[in-house]
Chain A
Amino acid sequence: MHIPDGFLAANTWATAWVISTGTIGYCLKKTAGLLKDRMVPLMGIMSAFIFAAQMINFPVIGGTSGHLLGGVLAAVLLGPYAGAVVLTCVLIFQCLVFQDGGLLALGANILNMAIIGTIGGYVIFNVLHKIFGNKKGLQIGAAVAAWFSVVIAASFCALELAFSGTSPLGIVLPAMAGIHALIGIGEATITVAVLSFIQKVRPDLIYGFAGESNKA
C-alpha cells in the first residue's frame, strides 16, 4: 500500500509529513534511551529482512497481490519505537532508491505503515499478550495484531485518499479494508511463522517476552 505521488492532495501529504516527522523524532529519542547492545545488530537484521520480505508479493484473490508489512514483527522483536524506526528506514530507502512510494507521499506512507501499522499493531499485541500469557499470547497476539495492523494501515490510507478528494470515503474505505483483510491473513501467517521460529531458537531476542532481561 505504498502511496505513489499524485494520489494525495497537498494539504493531506503535508499534514502527514508533519505528524510523521514529529512522531518518528520522538521514536528515535525513545529508541536511543531503550536500546540494548544486542538490539543494535538486530535492528540491521530486521531492516534487511523486512526490506527483503516486502519484495515478495504473494497472490490473493481476484488478481491482486500483497506483501508483508512487517510492522508487528519488528515491534514484537524490537519494541514499538525501534520497530517504527526500522520500518521508516525501509520506507525511505524504498522510496529514494526504488521509486516504491512517492516522495511527497512518503510522510503518509510512514504514518500509515511505520506509525499506525507498527505502533498501533504493537498496542494490540501487547493487550493480547497480557491476556493470554507468554507462550500462547505471543502467537495469538502476533496473529491478531498483524491482521489488524494491515487493515488499519489500509484504512488510514483510504482516509487520506478521501481527504484528498481522490475517491469518496464510502467507496475507497470498504475497498481498501476489504482487500487488506485478505492480505492481512498472509501478514498474520508470516508474522507468526517467523516469531515461532525465533521463539524456538532465540527466545531472548523477543522484546515483548515478559520476564526476560531484555524487557526494557
Chain B
Amino acid sequence: MNRKDIVMGLIIAVIVAFFLSPLASSWPDGLEKVARDHGFMVKGEQGSVFKSPIPDYIFPGLKNEKMATAISGLLGTLVIFGIGYGLASLLKKNKD
C-alpha cells in the first residue's frame, strides 16, 4: 500500500464515521432487544465497573447530539487507525 492508498482508505472510513454515524438507527441492537423481551435488561443497567470518557459515542460538552456522535466517530476512527497501524508496525519490528 502506498501513501495514496492509505489516505483513500482512511477517507472512506472517516466519511462513514463522520457523515453516516449520525444517521444510524437508534433502535436497540440484537442482544439488547433479546434482553428487553426476555426480562434481563435490568442486569446490565447496574452501571459499569468504570466510567469511560465518551459513553455511547456522544462527545461531551456538545449541545447537538448528532454532531457529538459525528465528532466521536471522526476522532475514534483516527485514533484506532493509529492504534492498528502502530501495533502492526510493532509486530513487524519484533519479527525483523
Contact = CB atoms under 8 A, between A and B. Distances in A.
Interface centre among B21, B34, B45, B46 (most CB of A within 10 A): B34
B10 A45 contact: yes
A35 B88 contact: yes
A35 B33 contact: no
A2 interface: yes
Interface residues of A, number: 69
A117 to B, nearest CB: 13
B52 A99 contact: yes
A44 B14 CA distance: 13
Given A95-B52, A96-B52, A97-B52, A48 B81 contact: yes
Dominant SS among interface residues on chain B: helix
Nearest to A88: B87
Nearest to A183: B30
A114 interface: no
A185 to B, nearest CB: 12
A40 B77 contact: no
B1 to A, nearest CB: 5
A53 B16 contact: yes
A56 B13 CA distance: 12
Contacts of B54: 97-99
B49 A7 contact: no
B2 to A, nearest CB: 9
Contacts of B31: 1-3, 154, 157, 176
B63 interface: no
B40 to A, nearest CB: 5
Contacts of B35: 7
A147 B45 CA distance: 30
Contacts of A41: 1, 5-6, 9, 85, 88
A202 interface: yes
Contacts of A98: 52, 54-57, 72, 76
A153 B36 CA distance: 19
Nearest to B3: A41
A143 to B, nearest CB: 19
B48 interface: yes
Given A44-B88, A45-B9, A93 B57 contact: no
Interface of B: 1, 5-6, 9-10, 12-14, 16-17, 20-21, 23-31, 33-35, 37-38, 40, 43-46, 48-57, 69, 72-73, 76-89, 91-92, 94-95
Interface of A: 1-7, 28, 31-33, 35, 37-49, 51-53, 55-60, 62-67, 82, 85-86, 89-90, 93, 95-100, 102-104, 154, 157, 161, 166-167, 171-172, 175-176, 179-180, 183, 202, 205
